[in-house]
Amino acid sequence: MAEVSVEIRDGLAWVTIDNPPVNAIGRAVRQGLLETVEQLRDSAVRAVVLTGAGRAFVAGADIRELGQTPLAPVLPEVLAAIAGSPVPWVAALGGLTLGGGLELAMACHARIALPGAKLGLPEVNLGIIPGSGGTVRLPRLVPMATAVKLATSGKPISAQEALEAGLIDRLASGDLMAEASAMAQDLAKRGGLLSALDRDLVAGEAIDWDAQAAQLRKRSRGAAAPLEALAALKSAAQEPVDVALAGERARFLRLAASDEAAALRHVFFAERAAGQSLKQADAEPADLSRVGVIGGGTMGAGIATALLLAGSQVRLIERDTAAAEMARTRVAETIAASVKRGAIAAEKGDRALAGLSTDTDYASLTDCALVIEAVFEDMAVKREVFARLDAVMPAEAILATNTSYLDVNGLADTTKDPARILGLHFFSPAHVMKLLEVVRGEATGARALATGGALAKLLGKIPVVAGVCDGFIGNRIMAAYRRDCEFMLEEGALPQEIDAAMEAFGFAMGIYAVQDMSGLDIAWAQRKAHASHRDPSERYAHIADRLCEAGRLGRKTGKGWYDYASGKAGIDPEVTRIIEKESARAGRTRKAFTADEIMARILATLQREGQAVLDEGIAETPADIDVVMITGYGFPRHRGGPMYMARSTV
């Protein structure tokens, strides 16, 4: 079997899983492993070293098989055979050891990992839980608190953390295979093999299961899998091994066939498919080792931070020296906060900041192959910036705008070669948010697009290609449903009811809490700018304008859709009065809305506008729209996105 090979040398068997790119466990791998156990049972080998070919050990189960009935031999059977082998199996781990891969490693009799290895149980991200004994073996190797964290968060840990927790027995200091072989020989000599299931639970502080469940329920926003993972661990803690194993398997099979898991698989593949057309662009991307950024406000500083942390040098241009200094401070503070949070090491932070230079003179940009503009959202200012760039930058440099709404095509005539212009729409905070809309103007060339793709890769972001329209994919759909929510206010709903319905559906925050957080003034300015060419017969709700006119611009002014006097969002009777007055003025009889009616309206609007975006060729695929709404606008991931829901409910 090509996926699993065995080499016998010096009385040891070297078993290698080779299923590129990440050695995912599909049927052939399971079959190969089972045959290997059988084959070795009757041989003279004293011990086995199990490893993965290439960079990963095993990054998980084959996701394509997950939605289907598992084919024999199933993984629990394979792992039981390995655990019950009369000779020791030692797992030698490098790169990724995730999901079914970690379950496999835990079924071996010992584990050794390279220092750079990552280990985790990301099953919950796919709407499932470990299904091959993972939740039963794990708390027999690590304290239950660690097991809970690993299985319910889905986040991997480093090899060092795995060593400290007891998940691996040793960290390789040099040659992984040589050290694994020494461990295997040693285990063979000692005899009395113990598999994880023969061990007691690791002693540690008692878990308050109810408190954990309550916390998790809040955090998982309606997703079932994290709570199921917790329940499986609780069973492992309280019930006999065979009962816990059977219970885990039943949960796994039920979840694998659930709507939630199907939705999460859709998102998994949608994220990987996003931006594929950028890779097909027939051009070499620009060199990203030095990148220029113009404007060092919220977005410019965030973009600079993202680039610096990815190892690029950044030349940041501001209007004057004072503003340049402020931009530097902003970047330094963001990096310092990441260090403080433990997100990055202090020395990485220092190295990143050392790559920043600030200036007011465009001449310092000329050695950059890409410049990203993030100045005020004002076409005249942006046009001036592009014209100045065109005058100094080498002909092959790519020029990008981070505009939220403005017409990227409207910048084309500021340069001699409009093929080099594109939109790169980041989301705030730019060094954290994973989404990058790569906006293709009418004249945008292949090299500019390839550069957008390469930039996303460098920054670890998900690129989604968008055409030009007011707000591209995300802000355009957002504007449409914001407008419809205001119509609902006018018809009888209240902001707190809409927010509660959205949160119950799984959004991180409701639309009004979000508006208060980011400020009501930008959208107000945009509405005022559009006022003169608005069709007077078109329905228009004035509620948000009234709030802004009353100085209620959101959290920054202490009041917006809510009152923040208490530090938290409080319901404000004044807002209710403004809304009721506007309903009366518009001649609407107010009626009550249920949470279901509110969500049905919101979803219908998202889907209608999404379809328009597709029909106009602004988005390349429905799945791209799902990715945008999930990664940029807080749409609950476990529901698969609005377009996915539209397709799966008809």
Catalytic residue numbers read 103, 123
What lies within 8 Å, CB to CB, of 146 at 6+ separation is 165, 167
- Give the CA distances from residue 197 to residues 162, 319, 572, in Å, rounded to whole numbers and listed in that order: 19, 65, 57
CB of 420 to ligand NAI, least distance (A): 19
The span from the CA of 603 to the CA of 639, in Å, is 12
What lies within 8 Å, CB to CB, of 279 at 6+ separation is 450, 453
Taking CB under 6 A as the criterion, the residue among 98, 385, 411, 455 binding ligand NAI is 385
CB of 309 to ligand NAI, least distance (A): 18
First to last CA, the chain: 43
- Residue 438 lies near ligand NAI (rule: CB under 6 A): no
Residue range at the interface with ligand NAI (CB under 6 A); choices 208-216, 424-432, 530-538, 596-604: 424-432
Tokens of 103: 């379950």
Nearer to ligand NAI, 18 or 377 (CB): 377
Q: Give the single-character DSSP code of 412.
A: G
The span from the CA of 2 to the CA of 571, in Å, is 64
CB of 481 to ligand NAI, least distance (A): 18
Strands 4-9 and 12-17: antiparallel
- Give the CA distances from residue 218 to residues 226, 314, 471, in Å, rounded to whole numbers and listed in that order: 11, 40, 32
Nearer to ligand NAI, 241 or 323 (CB): 323
The span from the CA of 480 to the CA of 579, in Å, is 19
Nearer to ligand NAI, 280 or 428 (CB): 428
- Residue 421 lies near ligand NAI (rule: CB under 6 A): no
Number of Cβ within 10 Å of residue 155's Cβ equals: 13
The secondary element (H helix, E strand) that includes residue 90 is strand 89-93
- Give the CA distances from residue 254 to residues 249, 251, 260, 267, in Å, rounded to whole numbers and listed in that order: 9, 5, 11, 20
- Residue 478 lies near ligand NAI (rule: CB under 6 A): no
Question: What is the x/- site pattern for ligand NAI, positions 360-379, by CB under 6 A?
Answer: --------------xxxx--
What phi and psi, each to the nearest 5 degrees, are found at residue 400? -125, 150
Taking CB under 6 A as the criterion, the residue among 381, 500, 595, 612 binding ligand NAI is 381
Residue range at the interface with ligand NAI (CB under 6 A); choices 183-191, 202-210, 350-358, 396-404: 396-404
CB of 388 to ligand NAI, least distance (A): 8
Nearer to ligand NAI, 4 or 308 (CB): 308
Residue range at the interface with ligand NAI (CB under 6 A); choices 95-103, 158-166, 425-433, 570-578: 425-433
CB of 181 to ligand NAI, least distance (A): 53
- Residue 403 lies near ligand NAI (rule: CB under 6 A): yes
Q: Which residue number is nearest to ligand NAI in terms of Cβ?
A: 297
Taking CB under 6 A as the criterion, the residue among 57, 89, 252, 426 binding ligand NAI is 426
The secondary element (H helix, E strand) that includes residue 13 is strand 12-17
Question: What is the x/- site pattern for ligand NAI, positions 236-275, by CB under 6 A?
Answer: ----------------------------------------
- Residue 135 lies near ligand NAI (rule: CB under 6 A): no
- Residue 464 lies near ligand NAI (rule: CB under 6 A): no
The span from the CA of 496 to the CA of 500, in Å, is 6
Question: What is the x/- site pattern for ligand NAI, positions 299-328, by CB under 6 A?
Answer: xx----------------xxx---x-----
Nearer to ligand NAI, 295 or 349 (CB): 295
Nearer to ligand NAI, 228 or 318 (CB): 318
- Are 127 and 226 in contact by the 8 Å Cβ rule? The answer is no
The span from the CA of 365 to the CA of 316, in Å, is 8
Number of Cβ within 10 Å of residue 55's Cβ equals: 14
Residue range at the interface with ligand NAI (CB under 6 A); choices 140-148, 426-434, 616-624, 629-637: 426-434
Number of Cβ within 10 Å of residue 410's Cβ equals: 16
Nearer to ligand NAI, 130 or 300 (CB): 300
The span from the CA of 65 to the CA of 100, in Å, is 13
Q: Where are the alpha helices (DSSP H) in 6-158?
A: 27-41, 63-66, 75-83, 100-107, 134-137, 144-153
Tokens of 310: 């990815």
Taking CB under 6 A as the criterion, the residue among 152, 220, 402, 444 binding ligand NAI is 402
The span from the CA of 154 to the CA of 40, in Å, is 34
The span from the CA of 420 to the CA of 447, in Å, is 7
Question: What is the x/- site pattern for ligand NAI, positions 58-97, by CB under 6 A?
Answer: ----------------------------------------
CB of 205 to ligand NAI, least distance (A): 42
CB of 433 to ligand NAI, least distance (A): 9
CB of 405 to ligand NAI, least distance (A): 7
Tokens of 600: 């049905």
Question: Residue 21, preceding bond cis, omega within 30 degrees?
Answer: yes
Instruction: Please count the residues of this chain forming the interface with ligand NAI, following the rule CB under 6 A.
Output: 24
Taking CB under 6 A as the criterion, the residue among 135, 212, 258, 404 binding ligand NAI is 404
The span from the CA of 429 to the CA of 47, in Å, is 51
Nearer to ligand NAI, 96 or 389 (CB): 389
Dihedral (Cα; 410, 413, 414, 416), 10-degree rounding? 150
Nearer to ligand NAI, 327 or 544 (CB): 327
CB of 81 to ligand NAI, least distance (A): 54
Question: What is the x/- site pattern for ligand NAI, positions 274-303, by CB under 6 A?
Answer: --------------------xxxxxxx---
Nearer to ligand NAI, 167 or 422 (CB): 422
What lies within 8 Å, CB to CB, of 126 at 6+ separation is 63, 66, 225, 261, 264, 265, 268
- Residue 433 lies near ligand NAI (rule: CB under 6 A): no
Nearer to ligand NAI, 426 or 593 (CB): 426
Query: For binding to ligand NAI (CB under 6 A), which residues are involved?
Result: 294-300, 317-319, 323, 374-377, 381, 385, 402-404, 425-428
